[in-house]
Amino acid sequence: MAQRETLGRPPGPRGHWLTGNTRAYEADRIGFLRRCHREYGDVFSYDEQTVFVIDPDLTHDVLTRTGHSFVTELAPFDMRRDLDEAGAQATAWMSARRATWPGLNRAASAAADGRTVEILDAVVAGGAGRELDVLTSMRAFTARAIADYCFGADARGVPGLLHDLIRATRPFTESSYEFPAWLPLPRHRRFFRAAGDLTEALTGIVRQRRASPAGDAPEDLLGSLLAAEPAMPDEIVTSTLHSVLMGGHGVPAAALTSVVWELARRPGLVGELRDEADGPVSGTAPLPSTPSTAARLPLAEAVVRETLRLYPPAWLMTRTARTATRLGDWSVDPGDDLLLNAYLIHRDPRWWQRPDEFDPTRWLSGRPAPGPAYLPFGAGPRVCLGSALALRQLTLATSRLAQRFAVESPNASSVALEFMGRLAPAGLRARFAPLGR
Ligand code: HEM
């Protein structure tokens, strides 16, 4: 106790007397954060309740203590910020999370290789060499891929509902202001309608499947959840699928958009990826045994890992302190929000050589494993549940795009990263011209 009293709140910019730092942050989010980092160090206050953290060890400390000292599930628009309710939801989610893992682990993810490639081919070939908005196309791919992973042939209609929900979520991710949910704003109505439509569709699929005779082995994630012991109630199965669909859609699409950005600017790298995909021991065709993609497609996987370093789609992770606690040399009060900045950690010259350079070779075998300064999938008990699937899907997609298409972009050299909900190059356009192989 005596020690806690010597701790204080981290320093930070005072900002405008009325609007605080919001206007400066909204004008240039990453520029503002870089300035604060330079001026105040790895931990700084943004306002009385918000602290940014750009230190790898402290970030891991917060992520590891999620569930005890910190919570992550404040419901959207919950202005009451009920920390006890958030803690109870976290406990319920952890048991659903454990039951979900067998359906998302490496072996289960590998079984989807063939469908991943088929869906990618269909979506990209559907663009038939036209110039496309890359993020929209990649979302079309990831929405179909994750819906197929969850429901197999029952997935029809789900990608469209996911698309609607992402669109309805956009106004909230673009702004730092939040209004109470009871305000009858059009954006609130759109969001609740889209979320309700998705839940209704998922409930229908779950009930129908539960009523049909079970096969020998689960063939999709829903089958695996329905086979879980002890049995999961239908509402938990539905809400778990909801989380997986949302987590497995927008974030990987943002990552793939950044991959395409790099491919469009690096014809030499595309050639090397093509050679690797055509090589004797690899190829993007599914293999009966399931070696890691790093064994089959080391360069493609290195491109994905490096892309996730330079452009982590989840560039900011949020936690709320549940109790008064210590963070390094600082004290944190209950209700304080901590914003953990993977983007700036991934670009910090203290942890990375040539941090702003895109260099996939840093991931090839023989190189040292990344330390705590690499966290595109988060860490601790709430680390990304889909990381095995994501790495696999993205590696296969990267390899396949390079192997089968010429990637040409009219604006790859002029677009910039958009630091909104999900980090991605804004407005990137590209043409995927089939190579006739
Ligand atoms: C490039 C692809 C992906 C990246 C970079 C990524 C990143 C992340 C990160 C950083 C978190 C933790 C957020 C936090 O701690 O606040 C997270 C959580 C999560 N991700 Fe992913 N993710 C990806 C793909 C996927 C996929 C494909 C799925 C579904 C199969 C998925 C499902 C989830 C779920 C369900 C959570 C919540 C876990 C929990 O709270 O217990 N993610 N993801």
> Residue 3's pLDDT is what?
45
Residue ID of nearest Cα to ligand 1 atom 35? 244
> Residue 125's pLDDT is what?
86
The domain locations on the chain are 2-353+370-392+399-434
pTM: 0.93
Residue ID of nearest Cα to ligand 1 atom 1? 252
Q: Which atom of ligand 1 is nearest to the CA of 63?
A: 15
Residue ID of nearest Cα to ligand 1 atom 27? 248
Q: How far is 358 from 119, CA to CA, in rounded Å?
A: 28
Q: Which atom of ligand 1 is nearest to the CA of 375?
A: 10
> Residue 397's pLDDT is what?
96
Residue ID of nearest Cα to ligand 1 atom 30? 386
Q: Which atom of ligand 1 is nearest to the CA of 146?
A: 30
Q: Could you tell me if 117 and 145 are in contact, meaning their C-beta atoms sit under 8 angstroms apart?
A: no
CA distance readout (Å), 293 to 275, 290, 298, 437: 15, 8, 7, 22
Residue ID of nearest Cα to ligand 1 atom 2? 252
Pick the CATH number of 2-353+370-392+399-434 from 3.30.365.10, 1.20.1250.20, 3.40.50.2000, 1.10.630.10: 1.10.630.10
Residue ID of nearest Cα to ligand 1 atom 33? 247
> Residue 132's pLDDT is what?
95
Mean pLDDT of 256-276: 97
Residue ID of nearest Cα to ligand 1 atom 7? 377
Mean pLDDT of 80-109: 87
pLDDT at 287 over 50: no
Q: How far is 76 from 78, CA to CA, in rounded Å?
A: 6
> Residue 181's pLDDT is what?
63
Taking the centre of ligand 1 as the mean of its atom positions, its distance from the CA of residue 363, in whole angstroms, is: 21
Taking the centre of ligand 1 as the mean of its atom positions, its distance from the CA of residue 401, in whole angstroms, is: 23
Mean pLDDT of 414-420: 94
Using CB distances shorter than 6 Å, the residues near ligand 1 are 72, 97, 104, 146, 243-244, 247-248, 251-252, 255, 308, 313-314, 317, 376-378, 382, 384-386, 389-390, 394
pLDDT at 289 over 60: no
Taking the centre of ligand 1 as the mean of its atom positions, its distance from the CA of residue 387, in whole angstroms, is: 7
> Residue 180's pLDDT is what?
62
User: What does the mean pLDDT of the chain come to?
Assistant: 89
CA distance readout (Å), 178 to 187, 248, 327, 348, 396: 11, 25, 27, 31, 38
In this predicted model, what pLDDT tens digit does every residue of 159-216 receive, in sequence order? 999 999 988 887 777 666 666 666 677 788 898 899 999 999 999 999 999 998 776 6
In this predicted model, what pLDDT tens digit does every residue of 195-204 receive, in sequence order? 999 999 999 9
Lowest mean pLDDT among 135-149, 155-169, 308-322, 336-350: 155-169
Query: What's the pLDDT band for 236 if we cut at 50, 70, 90?
Result: very high
Q: Which residues, 6+ apart, have CB-to-CB distance to 432 below 8 Å?
A: 124, 127, 129, 132, 401, 405, 406, 407
Q: Indicate the top mutation candidate among 307, 310, 384, 385 to test ligand 1's pocket, ranked by most ligand atoms within 8 A of CB.
A: 384
